[in-house]
A and B are shown apart, each in its own frame.
Chain A
Amino acid sequence: MTGKKIEETVFKVLMVIATYFILAILAIIIYTIFAKGVKALSWEMLTSVPQGGYYYGKGGGILNAILGSLSLAFGATLLAFLLGLPVALYINVFLVRRKKIVIVIRFILDLIWGIPSIVYGAFGFSMMIFLGIQTSLLAGMITVTLFILPIMIRSMDEILRTVPVGLTEASYALGSNKSETAFRIFTRQTVSGIITAILLSFGRGIGDAASVLFTAGYTDHLPNSLMEPVATLPLSIFFQLSSPVPAVQDRAYASALVLTLLILLVSLFSRGLGKRYHKTKINF
C-alpha cells in the first residue's frame, strides 16, 4: 500500500469507530430507558395524576407532568421563536454592512448558550422575587424562553447565513426593501432550517430540569392557569428516581420513555410540515 492509501484507511477507520461509538452509547441509553420503562408503563400512568403516596408506590400517573411539560415547552418555544426570528433576520439582513457588530452579537450569543440552565433558573427566581410572582407556569415559561433563546437565534442565524447573496441581490433588484427581503425571501428559502431550529430549542426546553426547578415549581394537579405552579417531566423523573421504592424508580424510566417519545412525535410532525415547504426552496 502507498502512504496515501494507508492514510486514507487510517482516517476512515477512525471515523467509523467514532461514529459507531457515539451511536452505541445513544443506543444503550435508549435501550435502558425502554427496557426498564416499558414494564412500568401503563395506561393509568399516562391518563391520571399522582394519587396520595404515588412516590411510595401507590397508584396514579404522570399526566400532570406530561401536560405541564407540553404547555410549558410549547409556550416557551413560541415565545422564543417570536423573539428570536426578528433577531436572526436583523443580523443577517439589516446588519450586513456592520460586520464587527455582527461578530460581537454572535460571540455574546455563543457565550450565553454555554451558561448552565441552573443559572437561568436562579436568574428567573430572583426576577420572580423582584416582581412578586410565585412559582408558576408563566414564570417557568419565561425562564425557559430565556434559556432556549440563544439556541433558537444562533441556529436560525446559521441557516439564514446560507441564503446565497445572488438571491438577496435578486430580491433587492426587484425593489424589495429590507423587511420584505427578510420576511418574504429569507424565511421562505430557509423554512426547513427554521423548523429544525425550533425543534432543537423545543427539545432543550422540554428536557431541562434545572431551569424549571425554582420557577415552575411542582404540583400533583393538572395545569389550569398561567399563574399556578406546574409539574414537568424532568422534575417528575427526578422525584420518582429519588424514591427508595424500586417500582417507583421503574416509573421514572417509564416517564423518561414518555418524554423521549413526545420529542420524537413532535420531531416527526414538524419534519413533515417542513417537507411541504421544502420543495419551493431553491437549491444552489
Chain B
Amino acid sequence: MDMETQNSIHVENLNVYAGKHQILKDINIDIPKNKITVILGPSGCGKTTLLKCMNRLTDLYPELKVTGKVMIEDKNVLEAGEDIVKLRQHMGLLSQRPYPLPMTIYNNIAYALRLRGVKKRRDMNKQVVHYLQMASLWDEVKNRLREPASHLSIGQQQRLCLARGLAVNPEIILADEPTSALDPISSQYIEEKFQQLKDEYTIVLVTHVLRQAARIADYVIFMYLGEVIEQGTVKEVLENPKMERTKLYLKGAFN
C-alpha cells in the first residue's frame, strides 16, 4: 500500500475467542478509503467474524470475547460503549442473505431515514426515491411501494437492503458474501453497483469466491484459520502471492 492512501478502518491486535477456541488471531489490517477491499478465504476462517467486529455485531453473540482495537473515525469501536449505535451509522451492512424489515418497501427505506433524523414527509418521499434509484430498484418497485418487502424476489430484496443501508448515509459498506444467495444476474448487478459506489464509499467485501475477488477487488486480505496470511493489492496477492498457503488456495480454487 502506498503512503498516499488514506485508511478508513484500522484494526490492531484483534483477537476473538469463543470459549477456549480462538476464532481470530492477532489481526492487524488497514482498510483503504474509497477502494474495494476483499477479505478472501475458505469457509470457517473467520472472515465473517472479522467483519462483524467492525460494527460490533459481535455483541449479539454472548459466547464471543473480543480484544484489541478497531479504529473508525479515530474511535475504537470495541470501547465505544453505547456510542456504537451512532458509530454503526457510518457503516452499511449487506449480509449473506437479504433481511428486509417486516414492513412495506417504502417503510424499509423510511425506517433508515428516520433513524438518521429525516422527519418531513416531503424530504422522506424524495429520499426514498433517491436511494431506491441508487440501488437500481426504483423502476421495479415504483408502483408497489406499499407492498410488504417480503413480496419481492431475493435479488430485489438484496437491492432493497442495499438501498436501506445507503439511506443511513454511511461512508463504509460492509458486505458479507452478499451474492451467495443470489442468481447470477442479481449477483452481477450487485458487483457492478459496488464498482460504481466505490468512488464515494469504502467497501469491505467478504467472499470465498476467488473469481469475484479477482473481478472487483482493489485490495485483498487473505485469511486462513483465523489468521491474516497475506494482504496487498490484487496484483500482489492474487498474481504474485508470497506465502505458501495463499499459493495453495489459489491453485486449489483454480483447479
Which A residues are within 8 Å of any B CB, using their own CB? 96-99, 164-177, 180, 184-185, 188-189, 279-283
Contact = CB atoms under 8 A, between A and B. Distances in A.
Which 4 pairs show the lowest CB-CB distances between chains A and B?
A: A173-B93, A175-B89, A170-B99, A280-B148
B99 A169 contact: yes
B50 interface: no
A174 B97 contact: no
B103 A176 contact: no
A98 B92 CA distance: 27
Contacts of A168: 60
B62 A280 contact: no
8 contacts: A96-B60, A96-B62, A165-B60, A170-B95, A174-B115, A176-B85, A281-B102, A282-B101
Q: Which of A97, A169, A170, A188 has the most CB of B within 10 A?
A: A170
Interface of B: 52, 55, 57, 59-60, 62, 82, 85-86, 88-89, 91-93, 95-97, 99-104, 111-112, 115-116, 148-151, 161, 164-165, 168, 174
Contact of B88 (A97, A164, A172, A283): A172
B60 A280 contact: no
Given A173-B57, A175-B168, A282 B99 contact: yes
Contacts of B116: 175
A170 B161 contact: yes
A172 B100 contact: no
Contact of A173 (B82, B88, B149, B150): B88
Contacts of B95: 166, 169-170
Contact of B111 (A97, A177, A184, A280): A184
A74 B101 CA distance: 31
B115 A180 contact: yes
B86 A170 contact: no
A164 B151 CA distance: 18
Contacts of B168: 174-175
A166 B62 contact: no
Given A170-B93, A173-B55, 6 more contacts: A167-B99, A170-B95, A174-B115, A175-B88, A280-B150, A282-B149
Contacts of B148: 279-281
A186 to B, nearest CB: 9
Contacts of A282: 99-102, 149-150
A96 B89 CA distance: 22
B207 to A, nearest CB: 18
A97 B99 contact: no
Nearest to B93: A173
A103 to B, nearest CB: 12
Nearest to A281: B102
Nearest to A189: B102
A107 B15 CA distance: 35
Nearest to A168: B60
Nearest to B167: A174
Contact of B101 (A97, A99, A171): A171
A280 B164 contact: no
Nearest to B85: A177
A177 B111 CA distance: 13
Nearest to B104: A280
B60 A185 contact: no
B59 A175 contact: no
Nearest to A283: B150
A100 to B, nearest CB: 10
A180 B88 CA distance: 14
Contacts of B161: 170
